[in-house]
A and B are shown apart, each in its own frame.
Chain A
Amino acid sequence: MTEFSQALRVDLTEDREETRRFLVLRRFFRSPTFVAGFAIVVMLVLLGTGGVWLSPYEATGMDLRNRLSPPTAQNWFGTDNFGRDVFTRVAAGSQLSMFVGLMVVAINAVAGAAIGALAGYLRQLDNLLMRVMDAFMAFPAMLLAIAITAALGPSLFNVVVALAVAYVPKTARIVRGTALIVREQQYVEAAQVAGAGTMRILRVHVLPNCLSSLVVQLTFVFASAVLAEATLSYLGVGLPPPAPTWGNGISDGREYIVEAWWISLFPGLAITFAVLGFNFLGDGLRDVLDPHLPGESE
């Protein structure tokens, strides 16, 4: 009898664990904005990987006999003034944009979280760190990024650096705000009372509890970074021309906008969808993550 109930109990808890995971997932997918954002992002990633692989053309391969062709069965999105396939360039641009976005987000996740958590938890550092961040924020992010790439020269690495510098202050400020709330929580005091040191409290208590607001912020950083990278390319301070960035695509089509609208339109749509997708994703995540998962108290 006891053995039976023991077995039953173990079974029940395992079941519950699985149900819990399932419930968390379902919460994500019950949010329509999250689903929309998720779908768009998945499509962009598929476009970037699958599109380039499927296409018979090279992103920089010119075909001068087939210039400014409107969308056809061979060239889905048409061709540009050098006869390059716009679909292939948009797909390859998606890879570049995702790469830039990911790198900027990664740098933000590390630097922004570290600076924000330190400033929020250690009051002595707060003024110093945040005044430095304020100094960066005093410049419009775009202008700062243009200035940095202009100074460093246009390359993929420099674009990433410029955008990271432009967005880290904001991420740091948001993490700091959350850390300020977390540091007043009694479990931080309880950890002090239990003899934990500063670094340990930061690592075990402060950072993990700032994670949800950080994740939401990072999706917005991703969207902004994609948009900013396109802007830099368009202005001619991003990746230099043969590179198939979306910004370059729009810029290439500018002179032919009347005869050959497709050159600018498709990269433009790609940017719109990317920004929309990540913003939806962020909104959805915020809906799900912000009110802490309600307890299934027993």
Chain B
Amino acid sequence: MSSPLLSVEGLRVAARTRRRENLLIEDVSFDVREGEFLGIVGESGSGKSMTALSIMGLLPGPVVQATAGRVLLQGRDVLKMPDGDLRRLRGGAIGMIFQDPMTSLNPVQTIGRQIVEVVRLHEEISRPAAWERAVELLREVNIPAPEERAQAYPHQLSGGMRQRVMIAMAIACRPRLLIADEPTTALDVTIQAQILELLDRLRRERGMAVVLITHDLGVVSEYADRVLVMYSGRVVETAPVADLFAAPSHPYTRGLLNSVPPLSEEVEELRAIEGQPPTPGAWPAGCRFRPRCDESRPACARWDVRLVSVDPGHSAACLLLDDKENAHAP
């Protein structure tokens, strides 16, 4: 198999204050292949967004910095790139869209001009030609009457339309990777589906990889090829989407799946996971899910758990699995 498009290796991100260092992400590794649809799932504070910002080289330094690991995009380490290269990369090879389309567009410029700006940041192209491209992009993201809409200001568009405009801006320079950080959280359910369909269609048509960050497992099950489950700054399970739903191996993943209402049957009560996720800096020793885990044992507090392969392409970080596989004496 060819080398992956994006390869995150042992990434560790910390927030440094004068006194101490709070870990936000620890030992996160994963690959994204060309054209792949990867879902990253986790609660707030699990490090999903920090992972995305690391890939863009946009961690809010000097306080928050990547302290270890590599983020290889097409073989080059993003974390060590000079500023100029990083700027070419952002919007060039990687596009990104955000959660809130209401505030993602500059209110004092027409959307056409904003797309033109992005195109002209990366390509030597005349304004009229860039405008043509903007209209073309708006058409590609299914905005009706794109010639007229290009002259509209953001406040004249609905939330769904604005998110489409954001997508048009993100794909303006044909990125190989599109990072979508909770792109549908602020939208109505029907619009959500349309936006996700659009992302999926663009991925197929353009052969670009999509990393979808979300806390919605339903969304992931429908569109993603592979899923990465994060908890407290760590990857706790990664698997092809079918495997994850058929055989979740980490107690946290099982808990998440149990808390999703099934469509097929009536359920009296959803089983939520007890307790709250720990805040960064107050992580318990050993397995971080231990305090909320039904299956925890004393040993869970003693060892840092590594990802263990369950099936080909499917691994999880749980001591129970480790025991089964290695059966090593303590």
Q: Among the listed stretches B95-103, B134-142, B245-253, which one makes contact with chain A, having 4 or more residues with CB under 8 Å of it?
A: B95-103
In contact, A185 and B155 (Cβ under 8 angstroms): no
Q: At the interface with chain B, which of A29-37, A53-61, A193-201, A258-266?
A: A193-201
Any B CB within 8 A of the CB of A254: no
Residue from the list A187, A195, A196, A297 in contact with B156, Cβ < 8 A:
A297
Interface residues in A182-198 by Cβ distance below 8 A to B read 185-187, 189-197
Q: Are B121 and A194 in contact (CB under 8 A)?
A: yes
Interface locus among B7-15, B84-92, B203-211, B256-264: B84-92
- Give chain A nearest CB distance to B161 CB in angstroms: 9
In contact, B106 and A205 (Cβ under 8 angstroms)? yes
Q: Is B316's CB within 8 Å of the partner chain A? A: no
Contact assessment for A194 and B91 in the assembled complex, using a CB-CB cutoff below 8 Å: yes
| Contact indicator A297/B155 (Cβ below 8 Å) | yes
State which of A13, A187, A192 has its C-beta within 8 Å of the C-beta of B90.
A192
| Contact between A292 and B169, CB atoms less than 8 A apart | no
**Known contacts A13-B148, A185-B103, A186-B103; A195/B155 CB under 8 A:** no
Docked-complex contact A195 and B157, CB < 8 angstroms: no
A196-B121, A296-B156, A297-B157 known; A204 vs B106 contact (CB < 8 Å): yes
Does the CB pair B87–A209 fall under 8 Å? Answer: no
- A205, closest chain B residue (CB): B106
Contact assessment for B105 and A187 in the assembled complex, using a CB-CB cutoff below 8 Å: yes
Asked if B58 is at the interface of the complex by the 8 Å CB criterion, the answer is yes
Residues of A within 8 A of B320 (CB): none
A294 to chain B, nearest CB (A): 8
Which residues of chain B are within 8 angstroms of A190 by Cβ–Cβ distance? 96, 98, 104-105, 166, 169
- How far in angstroms is the closest Cβ of chain A from B168? 12
A187 touching B121 by the CB < 8 A rule? no
Kindly state the separation between the CA atoms of A205 and B103 in the bound complex, as whole angstroms: 12
Instruction: State whether B100 touches A295 (Cβ < 8 A).
Output: no
Q: Which residues of B contact A205 (CB under 8 A)?
A: 106
Interface size on B, residues (CB 8 A): 32
Q: Is the CB of B117 within 8 A of A298?
A: no
User: For window 206-224 of chain A, which residues contact chain B by CB distance below 8 Å?
Assistant: 208-209, 211
- Chain A residues positioned under 8 Å from B108 (CB to CB): 208-209, 211
A189 CA to B53 CA in the complex, in Å?
11
A residues in contact with B95, CB < 8 Å: 193-194
B191 in the interface (beta carbon within 8 A): no
Contact of B89 among A195, A211, A292, A297 (CB under 8 A): A195
* A293 close to chain B: CB less than 8 A: yes
Contacts of A298 in B (CB 8 A): 156-158
Q: Closest CB-CB distance, A36 to chain B, in whole Å?
A: 28
Q: How far is the CA of A117 from the CA of B117 in the complex (A)?
A: 21
Q: Is the CB of A295 within 8 A of B121?
A: no
Q: Which residues B151-173 have CB closer than 8 A to chain A? A: 155-158, 166, 169-170
- In chain B between 117 and 148, which residues have their CB closer than 8 angstroms to a CB of chain A? 117-118, 121-122, 145, 148
Say yes or no: A292-B107 contact (C-beta < 8 A), given A195-B91, A197-B87, A297-B155. yes
Contact mask for chain A residues 159-180; partner B; CB cutoff 8 A; 1 contact, 0 none: 0000000000000000000000
**What are the residues of chain A within 8 A of B148 when measuring CB–CB?**
9, 13
Q: Is the CB of A194 within 8 A of B90?
A: yes
Cβ-defined partner of A209 (8 Å) among B56, B89, B106: B106
Q: Which residues of B contact A295 (CB under 8 A)?
A: 155-156
Given known pairs A187-B106, A193-B56, A193-B58, the reply for A293 and B87 (CB within 8 Å) is no
Whether A194 pairs with B118 at a CB distance below 8 angstroms is yes
User: Could you tell me which B residues sit within 8 Å of A by CB distance?
Assistant: 56, 58, 87-92, 95-96, 98, 100, 103-109, 117-118, 121-122, 145, 148, 155-158, 166, 169-170
Q: Which residues of A contact B (CB under 8 A)?
A: 9, 13, 185-187, 189-197, 200, 204-205, 208-209, 211, 292-298
Q: Which 10 A-B pairs have the closest CB atoms?
A: A295-B155, A195-B91, A194-B91, A195-B90, A186-B104, A193-B96, A186-B103, A195-B87, A194-B118, A187-B106
Inter-chain pairs besides A187-B103, A196-B117, A295-B156, 16 sampled, C-beta below 8 Å: A9-B148, A185-B103, A186-B98, A187-B105, A190-B169, A193-B58, A193-B95, A194-B91, A194-B118, A195-B90, A195-B91, A196-B91, A200-B121, A209-B108, A296-B156, A297-B156
